[in-house]
Structure 1
C-alpha cells in the first residue's frame, strides 16, 4: 500500500478517535492526579449526618412533603417577640383522598418550639404580621391569638356603583398600612367567581377592611408594598449562592476537592458557550459556617464551571440553593441544602 494511503488511513483513524472521545464521557482529566484531601478537612461532615461544634449542634427540624420554596417564602421574624415562624406542608391520607396541611411553627430566640398553628384549607399569606385568607385574618404571629376574625366588609352586597367603589379603593389604599388583593379566581367563592368580583384587603385604623368590586386595581400584584411599620418581616438568606467562594461574616467555602471531570456536550442552540452543558468539575466543598462566635464545619456537593468567565459571579454552584437564616437578636440558625428539609442549629450537644 502506498504511503499516502497509510497517511489517509492514519488521519481518518485519529479523526474517528477524536470524535469518539469528544462524544464520550471519558476524560483524561479523570486519570490525572487530582491531589489528596488535606487532613484538616477529613473531619467535616454532611448536614444530614448531624454535627456539632463546641457550643452548637445541627439537627433536623422537619421534613416537608412539598417543596419549601425558601427563596419565595423565607422564615418570618417577629422583632417585638424575638420569635421565628417557619412553615411546613404535610400530606394527610384520608381514604382515597389526600389532604394538604400547612403548619406554622413558632420558635423562640433559642430555637425551641413554643407554639404551632395548622391550616388544612384556605392557606394563609403572612402580610404585615397577620395571617390572611379570603375569609378572615389571624394575629397569631404577632400575639399568639389563633382566632380567625372576619373582615369589616364594604360593598358586600355588591350594590355600589363603580365610581364610588373606585374612589373608596383609592382612599383606603392611600390611608392603609397594609394592602392585599384577591382576584376572583383566587377565591373559593362561586358567587364572586361568577360575577368576576375581586376583594381588596386594607389594614386601616387598626382593623382589616374588605372592599368588593370589579377590577378594583389595574396593578397585576396581590401583595402591595407594605407602607406601615410592622415588627414582622422576612429573614434574609445569609448565603450568596452566586459567590460561594467569597468570604462573608456567615459562611465561607474553605476548600473545593475535585472528584470527577464532566465534559461538555453540545452544541445547543441558545447556550452562551454553544454547549448544552459546560465543562465542569464535580466535587465537594468544605465550608465554615459562623453562628455567633462559634464556627461549624460541613461539606456539600459542589460543581465548578470550567467555562465560567464572570467577575461578579463565582464558578462554584450547589445542586440546589443553600439557605442559612439567623440574625443578631436570636441565638440559633436555620439551614437548608435541599427543598424538603430544614435543619436547626442551636445550643447543646448530642
Structure 2
C-alpha cells in the first residue's frame, strides 16, 4: 500500500540486540538474586556472640588491645622486627609517600606488648641497620635508648686532606674495629634534587663518598673518593623478623587462629562475600571475633581460599600475637590477667 513505510532492517537489528543484551543481564541478576536467596542458611546460634574485630573485643580471659591506627589513615605496615637480646619489638609504618619526602613512623613494644613510645621520621633515604635508623646525614639510636633526637656522625677526613694511601689505611683501621659498616655514594649524597653550593658542591665535584662505621656504640663517617672499592664491603645486619602466618586457608584448625564459620551474605561473579567467624587462641583461652571476608568458588577444592586483609604475626618467643586489620589498625592479643607495669 502506498504510504506504508518500509521497515529499516538496521534499526530492527539494533532493537533485537538491545533486547538480547537486556535479557542476558536480567537473567544474571535473577540468577544472583536466586542464589543469594537459596544459598544462605541461617546463622547457627553459637556464632551470635562473636564480637566485631576491634579494640572493644574482649572475653573473661583475653582482650584485643589497639596499639595504633586510625581507620581513616591509610598506611603501609611492614613486618615487625624483634631484638633477640632484649625481646623488644620494632614496628615500622610508612604513613605517607609524597614527592618531597616519606613519612616513617616507628613504634617500640616491650616484652609484654606494651607500647612504649613512637618516633616520626619525615625524610628520604631512611633505612634500618640492626637497631639503628639510618639516614646519610644523621642517625637515631632511639630503639636502643629512647632518644628521639637526630644524632650526627663523627666526621673523619671531612677536609679531604688524606691522600689515597692514608685514606685506605684509615678505612682499614675503622673497618677492623667496626661491627656495622654502610656505604653512601657521592651521587646519591650530594647530587639528589640538584647540586647545591658550599660543601655539597665541593663533595660532588670531587666525587666524595661517605662510609659510616659503628664502633663501640658510636657512628663515624669517613669521607673520601672511591670508598666503595675499599676491601671488605658493607657490614649490615637486621633484627629478627617476626613470622607472618599465611591466612589464605583459615578453615584449617591450628593452635593460633582459624575460621570456625563463614556466613554467606551476597553473591558475586565467582565469589561469595560474607562474614567470617574467627577463633583466636592464646594458650588455653579463645577470643571469638567476626570480620568481613570473601571466599572464591572452586570446584572440588578443599580447603577453600579466603580473601581478606587480616595480617597475623607471631614469634615462638613472644607471649602475644600482633594482628593488623583491613583498616590498617594494629592490635595485640593479650591475657587480661597479665600485670602490665607502667
Check 1:298–1:123 CA distance in 2 against 1; reply closer, same or farther (3 A cut). farther
- 2-structure distance, mates of 1:24, 1:140: 58
Give the deviation of 1:84 after TM superposition.
Answer: 2.1
Corresponding residue SS for 2:25: helix
Q: CA RMSD in A?
A: 4.4
Give the deviation of 1:326 after TM superposition.
Answer: 3.5
Structure 2 spans left out of the alignment, 5+ residues: 1-15, 338-342
1:47 to 2:53 alignment? yes
- Aligned 1:76-225 pairs, distance under 5 A: 76-87=81-92, 102-121=104-123, 124-146=126-148, 148-154=150-156, 156-157=158-159, 177-182=179-184, 184-185=187-188, 190=196, 191=200, 195=205, 198-203=209-214, 207-212=218-223
Check 1:62–1:99 CA distance in 2 against 1; reply closer, same or farther (3 A cut). farther
Give the deviation of 1:224 after TM superposition.
Answer: 7.3
- Length-normalised TM-score, structure 2: 0.68
- Length-normalised TM-score, structure 1: 0.67
CA shift digits 1:175-233 (9 cap, x unpaired) = 86444444544777842795575544344565434345677659xxxx9762xxx7x43
Check 1:281–1:207 CA distance in 2 against 1; reply closer, same or farther (3 A cut). same
CA shift digits 1:129-178 (9 cap, x unpaired) = 11222222233322444454432445534577889989988998898644
CA shift digits 1:290-348 (9 cap, x unpaired) = 2233221111211112258888x952111x2x222333444333211125321233333
Contact 2:271 2:297 in 1 (8 A): yes
Q: Which has the larger radius of gyration?
A: 2
Give the deviation of 1:54 after TM superposition.
Answer: 2.7
1:244 to 2:250 alignment? yes
- 1-structure distance, mates of 2:124, 2:204: 19
Structure 2 counterpart of 1:317, from 291, 307, 319: 307
* Count of residue pairs the alignment pairs up: 304
- Aligned 1:219-298 pairs, distance under 5 A: 226=237, 232-237=239-244, 239-263=245-269, 279-298=270-289
Structure 1 spans left out of the alignment, 5+ residues: 1-10, 92-97, 264-278
- 2-structure distance, mates of 1:176, 1:247: 48
- 1-structure distance, mates of 2:171, 2:36: 65
Give the deviation of 1:236 after TM superposition.
Answer: 2.1
